[in-house]
Every structure is written in C-alpha cells, then in structure tokens.
Amino acid sequence: MSARSPKEGKEFDGLDRLIEEITVDAYGDDEQLWAFGQAFVENVALPTDGFVIGEPVSVVAIDYDGNKRRGLTAKCSREDGAEYVVALPEVVLPQKAEGARYIAAYRRLLGLDPYPADAKNSSRRLQQHKAADDDIDLSNPVELVALSVKERAARCRLLGSDRIITLRASPLWEVVPGVIVLVTPRKQWRYGGHPYLSGEIQSIRIDVEALDFVPLGLEEMGMWDPKEEYWGEEGEPIEDWAKPIIAHGPRPMFEMEQVLPGEDPDDPFSDPITRSNDLNDAGEQAEAIKILMELCLADLRCLDAHSHLGNFLFDRRPQDAIRHYEVGLRIGELSLGGDFTGVLSWGLIDNRPFLRCMHGYGLCLWRLERFDEAEQLFQQMLWLNPSDNQGIRFLIGEVQAKTAWKDREFE
C-alpha cells in the first residue's frame, strides 16, 4: 500500500477501515478481489455517472471475472450508446458519490494513489454529463442549480445530480451562479446534441447545503496570539470592537482552500481572475464577466469569481450584487460550520476570496439599509480577521449609528 502522508492521514485511515471491513474473511489476492467485487454489488447503485480520461460515461456494471492480473473491471456506456470495458481504477466518480469511496479503497488496496489527479481536479473537466430526455417530468416543477448565466439563457444542472441542461426563461436578471431555480417546465429539446429547457421561473433561493458540495478545506496554520498584534500606541485606549477579541486570547489560525479552475501554478500569468480584471479595466466588461461565469461553470466553489461578479455590479446595482456575494459567502461558511472560533487571516492569501465575499455582502447590506445584519456581519469579520486589512473598524461605527450609505463620512 502507498505510504500515508500527514495531510491525508484521516482520509487514509477511513479507507483502511473500509478495506479491512471488506476483506476481513478474505485470504490471498483472489479472495480479496472477489470480496471487493461483492462490496460494489451490495453498496454501489448502478448505473451511475462517471468519467474515464475526462469523458463522461455511465458506469453500468462492475465485475471481477477471476483474472487477478486485470482485477475488477467496469463496463461503461458513452452518450452515443457505445459500450466498452476498462480497469476499474480508470473510472472517476463524483467525490460525493458513495461509489467514489469504494473505488478509492480499491485503488489503495492495489497500492495506487486513492485520489488521482483526475479526481482531485474534477473541476477542470471540459465535458459534463448532459440531461437525458427522461430526466425531467414536464408535468411537474423542476429544480435547477444555476452554474453560469447569460442575458437569455442559464447553464444549469439538475438539483441532486451532475447532469447539465440550458434553461431559456425570462427574466433571468435575478439568477446568479449558485442559486436554486424552481421552474415550471414548458418544453424540452436538443440542439447540436445539447439539452435545452424552457419554462417559467417560480422562485429563486440560496441554499448551498442542498447543492451537496465537498466543503473547501481548512488547513491549520498555527496559533494566532493577540499579544503579538498591534492594537494602537501605548497608552491609547483599546477600541471597543477589539476588547473581546483580545480577552479571548490565542486561537488557532486557518487557511481556506482556494479553488481557481484553469490556473497553472507554474505560470504566474495564468490567473483567470487577473485576466478578467484587466479586461474590465480596459472597458471589455462582457468578456470579463464571461471568464468569471466560466469559472463558476467549472466549479461553483470558486469564491473569487462570485466576489468579482458582485464587484462589477456593486456601484450601479447593489440589490443584484448582493446575491453574488452571498452565494460565495454561504459556500465558504460550509467549511466553517456553526461553531468555528478560529482566525482566517488576510495575510494567508487563500483566505482572501472568502473575506472579499464577506466584505462585499456587508457593504451591500449597509447600502440597502439592513443595518442590523450589516453590523452583525462586520463584527464577524473583525473576529475572523482581527488585523482588519479591509478597514471594517472604520465603518462599523457608522453602521451601528444607522447612518445611510449616502450620508457616510468617508469617501
């Protein structure tokens, strides 16, 4: 078996327990393979959507025919109906699928990396599973997750699956990537091999827990100690917002995983967020927005895409910008849970997309005169990032005083 790294220790422990459970009465390679084959039969519902070398397939069967050198195999079906058989380790399933855990355990049994690059970077796949004609009942409302939005169409996936369809409905101005859209369907068709749906939008909601995401990871980065921070000149009174933070004492510090599809770590000029900002500065906002929408389509957990989409609307339409910020904020909050007491320092770069979403959301709350919510959010921001690189300490007093945005004292 492959060696365990400290970072992957907990995940590998879980896989080792699963392997032991499956093979407890199996002796030798052949019996272990038969045991794993039976485990797939009993615990993994088929057919299921998956990928082989980035190509979307339907996995229709998993089998072991007694050939120890080949091991378990998967029968896969392409969209054109063609079927072929591959070695099971070549199959990648969505991370949340129960079958993904069993494949990871099987790969570990064979001494392979349980989580190969294709599985870890699934957001970079260029192809996606398309909704089939029988996936939607036109006589009942359907819930869709918006992935990217244009003026007259939104690329969506069916809630509860990874299958993609394009929605044509009007109006779409309230639809942003990450919201759940309830649609009364009218017509379903295909054009150029891609599925489309028209209908009437009944409601839109933000409910990221229903999206079944793998939460962004949190990496512990040591302890944050208020005694080591600057709180003003000696002899000056401590500001009210800082007193409970100092009194609480040291807390663990974390860095949140940043998802940025298309970035090349070896190429400093490959950052799609920078490209989008450059286009926007050059007056080509439509192209800038297109890049951000493509990031959301690849992976809705790209928080910087949500924050910058909000930024493009903030000055003119805060009532629309706030939806972009809130989606990013709520996705990030999935990683924190309800009892998070740690620090997300701005100095740790990958925390910045989440903190930008919080900042934009808070400013929109203020502009829309939702003062109590804005104050609560600003207090949370100061708690999470006490160094306050975003200047919240200069704003919170005016929010507490319920000063209207247009009457604020700063420029």
DSSP 13: H
CB under 8 Å to 327, separation ≥6 — which residues?
A: 176, 177, 178, 179, 206, 208, 300, 306
What's residue 185's pLDDT? 94
CB under 8 Å to 271, separation ≥6 — which residues?
A: 260, 263
Structure-token match 């995983």, residue found: 257
Q: What is the pLDDT of residues 104-115, one digit of tens each?
A: 999 999 999 988
Chain mean position to CA 262:
15
For residue 8, is pLDDT > 90?
no
The answer to whether residues 185 and 138 touch, using CB atoms and an 8 Å cutoff, is: yes
DSSP 305: H
Burial of 390 (0-12, 13-18, 19+ CB in 10 A): buried
Residue type, 62: I
What's residue 234's pLDDT? 81
**Region of residue 181 (left: phi > 0; alpha: psi -120 to 50; beta: else):** beta
Mean of all residue pLDDT scores within the chain: 89
Specify the 3-state DSSP secondary structure of 188.
strand
Which of 281, 282, 275, 239 lies closest to 260, judged by CA? Answer: 275
> Is 116 or 92 the better-scoring residue by pLDDT?
92
What's residue 266's pLDDT? 66
Q: Delineate the domains of the chain, giving CATH numbers in brackets.
A: 9-124 (no CATH), 133-210 (2.40.50.140), 218-259+299-407 (1.25.40.10)
How many residues appear in the chain? 411
What's residue 7's pLDDT? 44
> Is 7 or 15 the better-scoring residue by pLDDT?
15
For residue 3, is pLDDT > 70?
no
Residue 340: both structure tokens together: 């998070």
Q: What is the pLDDT of residues 297-332, one digit of tens each?
A: 999 999 999 999 999 999 999 999 999 999 999 999
Phi, psi of 401 (to 5 degrees): -85, 0
Mean pLDDT of 288-299: 94
Q: What is the pLDDT of residues 226-247, one digit of tens each?
A: 999 888 888 888 888 999 999 9
Structure-token match 């974390």, residue found: 254
CB under 8 Å to 370, separation ≥6 — which residues?
A: none
DSSP 129: P
